[in-house]
């Protein structure tokens, strides 16, 4: 049991565990504040972006390029072969013909 307790102590300030630990009383607001205040400020190392502006930029880029989106599969050289036979494909065999093994149905 000591092993689990030790592991839980290591996760005491883990973001996923903070709310649980606060509710249980294994962590106080003061301990959490001290821990967070003791963490280094990493904000200078991040790259900030605005998702709305990035979406607008991408939309305007597509419009500028003539909105020619290629929906073809990069893994199939001949796109006409991609859907070949898909119309009549049945993952359970050609026929659901009961016990007739010639029909490709399930035989039990």
User: pLDDT tens digits for 13-25?
Assistant: 998 999 999 999 9
98 in a structural domain: no
Task: Tell me the three state secondary structure of residue 8.
Answer: helix
Whether residue 90 is contained in a domain is answered as no
Among the listed ranges 20-34, 36-50, 73-87, which one has the minimum average pLDDT value? 73-87
How many distinct helices (H) and strands (E) make up the chain? Answer: 4, 0
Q: Residue 15's domain spans which residues?
A: 8-36
- Residue 14 — left, alpha, or beta (φ > 0 → left; ψ -120 to 50 → alpha)? beta
Establish if 32 belongs to a structural domain: yes
Residue 99 has pLDDT above 80, yes or no: no
What total number of domains does the chain contain?
1
């Amino acid at each position: 049991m000591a092993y689990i307790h030790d592991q839980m102590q290591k996760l005491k300030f883990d973001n996923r565990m903070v709310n649980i630990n606060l509710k249980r009383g294994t962590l106080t607001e003061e301990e959490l504040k001290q821990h967070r205040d003791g963490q280094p400020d990493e904000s200078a190392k991040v790259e900030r972006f605005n998702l709305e502006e990035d979406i607008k930029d991408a939309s305007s880029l597509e419009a500028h390029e003539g909105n020619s989106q290629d929906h073809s599969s990069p893994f199939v050289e001949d796109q006409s072969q991609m859907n070949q036979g898909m119309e009549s494909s049945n993952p359970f065999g050609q026929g659901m013909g009961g016990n007739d093994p010639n029909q490709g149905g399930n035989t039990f």
